[in-house]
Each structure stands twice: as C-alpha cells, then as structure tokens.
Structure 1
Amino acid sequence: MKTDVKILKSDAEIKEDVLEELLWQPDIDETQIGVIVEDGVVTLTGVVDSYVKKSAAEKAIKGIAGVRAVADDIEIKYGNEYKRTDKEIAKAVANAMEWNPSIPEDNLNVTVREGWVFVSGEVNWGYQRNATKKTLEKLLGVRGVNVNQITIKQRVKPLDVQNKIINAFERAADIEAKGITVEVEGSTVTLRGKVHSIKEKEDAEKAAYKAPGVISVVNKLKVQFYPVKNA
C-alpha cells in the first residue's frame, strides 16, 4: 500500500541545494555570494558587479524545492569599467525602449538619478510595465529601476479578467491551475492557493499581470513541499 508523505527539508539540506545550484550556473561566481537559510527562507549576501548577476543568483534558487522565500541582500558595486554617467544611462535606456516592441515608449517618461531609472506614464497592459522594468534593469550601469509611477488603463470587466487569467493558468505547463483561485476587484487581482515552488508562484503572478486592465497583483499563494510516494 502506498501513501503520500510530505518530506520537509532541513535548513542544512536546503543550503546545500542552493550552493550546488549557484555552482551549477555559468553566469554566477558562487564565491561572491553568501547563503543563510532559516526556516526555509534563504538570504543571499555578498557583492557583485552587475544587476544581471544579482538577479541571476536570486532567480537560480527560486525553483528549488523547500525554499519558501528569498531575501536578496546582495550589493552591486561597479568597477571603473562599469561606471556610466546618468546621461549615458539615459541614452541607453532610450535605445532599449525603442528596440523593444513590448514597451510603448511614446507614453512613458524617464528620469535617471545616480544610476537609478524612474519611469512614469501610462500603458494598456500590465506586461508592458513588467517588460519595461526587466529590459532596463539589465543595462550596464543601472543600479535599479522604479516603474511604480506607470499606470495601467482599465478596459475590461473584472469577470473577463478573471476568466482570461484562469485560462492562461490552464494553458501554462509550469502552473498547477487547480491549486489556484483568482479574485478580481477593480483592477486588482488576488491569487490564493498552493504552489510547489517560488518560481511557480512568480510565474502565476506574471501570467496574471498579462491580463488587460490589471494594475496590481496581490500574490497570496503559499509554497508547499512536493509529496513523495513511499511503498
């Protein structure tokens, strides 16, 4: 007779998995990153020379079973070869926005201060705001990107938004749609239920943001451990 048993990983086991994953990633120098695990919450520390490396380290461990949350305390310190003036960054930002078809550049305004990029304006879709952030934070010399001042037009009814999100979950191979409930109030979507990893939790949030009219997503999904079969 087989029964389902949930196996809880110890913090030591999770830390070992995290270190192995960082070692496995070709774009990450694991010697620059410190790892602390407490009750399944992973804290990353250390210093890297680009936002891309910082983001890659965080992303690498979010799919590890047992990781409940990630606190990213990695600092970015650029060497002389990576330094750019705000004027140079602003020019790079304008070029990146022009070349990305997902970003409606004509509707957005950009300000650069001490390496930080602030974007304001209005877009039709949540994914356009996300695309703006992801595209710009990869640019050399950028310390961070703030898109909180980008507003999203509301063009559809909440029920239509809910149905579109549910359908998107059902199409996605990496999202267990049956474990997620979707609530829509105005332009805010709330996700509830259980998923198997932080990556799945974030994928569900990204899918919800792609629905028309969605301005914010409240992600209340909880990460649970994978059940295993024991004979």
Structure 2
Amino acid sequence: MKTDSNIKLDVQEELAWEPSIDQTKIGVAVDEGIVTLSGEVDSYSKKIAAEKAAKRVSGVKAVAEDIVVKYPSSLDKSDTEIAKAAVDALEWHSSVPDDAVMVKVENGWVYLTGEVKWSYQKYSASNAVKNLVGVKGVSNSIKLKQEVKPVLVKDTIEEAFERSARIDAKGIVVTTDGNTVTLSGKVHSIKEKEDAEKAAFRSPGVLNVVNKLRIQYYPSYA
C-alpha cells in the first residue's frame, strides 16, 4: 500500500503533468490517504483541474480542496455581471432546457437550482458557467425529474460500464429499487468511482444513485 509520502509525490507529479495549471502555486498535504490542496489560482477552471488531477492518483481516498480563486483586478467581475453572463451562457447552451435553471450569484459563487429531466442537462448547466470570467465556484442543486420509468435499468448500466474504457465493470455490482440505483463492489480510484456514478445517472429513469463503491488500490508500493 502507498505511504502518504508516496501519494504526495504522485499528486505533485500529476499536477505538474496537467498543462492548464502551475503546480508550483498549489500546496499538497496528505494524511492517511486524504489529500489537501491549498494555494491560489486565477480561474475556477484551474481549481477544478487541480482537484481532478489529484483524484486520478491511485491511493487517494479523498480530496479536501482549499484552493482560493483570485482573479487579476482587470478581470474581476461584480455578482451582477457574473449573473448576467451565466444566464446568457445557459440560454445559449443547447443541452440546457429553456427556463429550467435559476441562477443566483453571491461573492463570485454561482448557485444553480431548478429541475431537468436528464443528468446530462444538470451537468451541462455547470459546464456552461464554470469557465466564465469572475466565477469562483459553482454549486449545482438542480434536481432531476424524469417521466420515463426505468426499463431494464440494471442491464443498461452494466452495458455502459462494459463499453467504458475508464471503468472496470468486473468489480461493480448494480442493484435497482424503483428509480434508485445502488452501486457496490470495488474500483481502483476516486475518478473511477465518480465515472461509474455518472454513467449510472445517464440511464433513462434513474433519479438517484447510491454510490457504495469501495476503492481497492493496485499494490504498486510495499
């Protein structure tokens, strides 16, 4: 099993490998497999990129993200300006239904609420606003409300896992109870665990995913 020192080194190397961020501005601390990222970046997209890079590393159990987004004064925007830009971005995004999402902005944080039928529409709303200048964070509380009843949901999800190059389908057990899907078994990283949950959410009729997947790491370190 990896030691905290091994994990810290791997996370630092993964951050250095990520072209969109300057790893020298991000601090890394590891305690019992839990990674804490700190420092300062000049856009929200870079903050997200650092978090995703850490989650890709084998041995990481969780990521506590304390990175601060601080824009240059020339790019700083008021909450009103960010809200207007967010509304425009959602209107232009073809995957987000018209008038389905409400926007609130407070201290640079964008809060999304409302109801959509599909999980991809929920995540598309986040993607539409996360790269806007001035945004310091996105809280997505959009709810899913589907009219389609789950039909062969279990088979559909398992087939999606089999198709995915990022998910080891052999270690995942899928159970269903109405509109709720429960994932159990083992995966090899936080990223794989999250990918499995997203894949399950994409299945027609699924409104809730209970992710009980456990992370089993490759024994690359003694």
TM-score between the two structures when normalised by the length of structure 2: 0.90
Structure 2 counterpart of 1:168, one-letter code: A
What's the CA shift string for 1:179-228, capped at 9, x where partnerless?
Answer: 11123334332211111111111111111121223333222211111257
Partner AA of 1:108 in structure 2? V
Tell me, yes or no, if structure 1 residue 178 matches structure 2 residue 170: yes
Matched, 1:94 2:84: no
Contact 1:124 1:212 in 2 (8 A): no
Maintained 8 Å contact 1:119/1:147: yes
Give the drift of 1:12.
0.9
The percent of aligned pairs where both chains have the same amino acid is 56
Higher relative contact order (Cα pairs below 8 Å, separated by 6+ residues): 1
Q: Distance in 2 between matches of 1:109 and 1:172?
A: 33
2:99 counterpart residue number: 106
User: Which region of structure 1 is more displaced relative to structure 2, 129-138 or 171-180?
Assistant: 129-138
Please name the residue that 1:123 is paired with.
116
Runs of 4+ in 1 over 6 A off after TM superposition: none
Conserved? CA contact 2:185–2:213, under 8 Å: yes
Higher strand fraction: Structure 1 or Structure 2? 1
Match of 2:33 among 17, 30, 40: 40
2:201 to 197, 206, 209: 209
Structure 1: 5+ residue stretches without partners = 1-7
CA distance in 2, matches of 1:138, 1:42: 24
The amino acid across from 1:41 in the alignment is: I
Task: Describe the SS at the equivalent of 1:54.
Answer: helix
Give me the whole-angstrom Cα distance separating, in 1, the residues matched to 2:178 and 2:127.
26
TM-score (normalised: structure 1): 0.87
Could you tell me which runs of 5 or more consecutive residues in structure 2 were left unpaired when the two chains were aligned.
none
Aligned length in residues:
220
Secondary structure of the residue aligned to 1:106 is coil
TM-align CA RMSD? 1.9
